[in-house]
Amino acid sequence: MRGKLSWEDAPLTWILQYGVAKIVFIDGEIKMDEIKPSCPECKSNSVAWIFWGYPGDMDWYLKAIKDKEIVGGGCCISDDDPKWECNDCYHQWGERDDD
């Protein structure tokens, strides 16, 4: 999906395909499906998607960080940002999709 996203406009069940990550909203709860890779370093399945830029919905953003679904990558993006971060060993890898 390209362009600006408005989290407030999400219907009860909304599936957003973002690269290989699929984010599923169910009744306002964010669920990541199992497309997430495992960590190439420690083989952990607890992996967070790195969210670059500013979130449209701060409540969603903070909750998703608390649930370790995402980690905040910051507002400044470069040409070689990683896409995934391991929740166990903090290894970062992958390539951020260009908007």
Minimum distance of Zn ion from residue 48's CB (angstroms): 11
89 binds Zn ion (CB under 5 A): yes
40 near Zn ion (CB under 5 A)? no
| Residue 36 in the binding site for Zn ion (CB under 5 A) | no
Our finding on whether 87 is near Zn ion (CB under 5 A) is no
Q: With CB under 5 A, what is the number of residues at the site for Zn ion?
A: 8
Minimal distance, residue 90 CB to Zn ion, in Å: 7
Three-state SS string over the chain comes to: CCCCCCHHHCCCEEEEEECCEEEEEECCEEEECCCCCCCCCCCCCCEEEEEECCCCCHHHHHHHHHCCCEEEEECCCCCCCCCEEECCCCCEECCCCCC
| CB-nearer residue toward Zn ion: 77 or 89 | 89
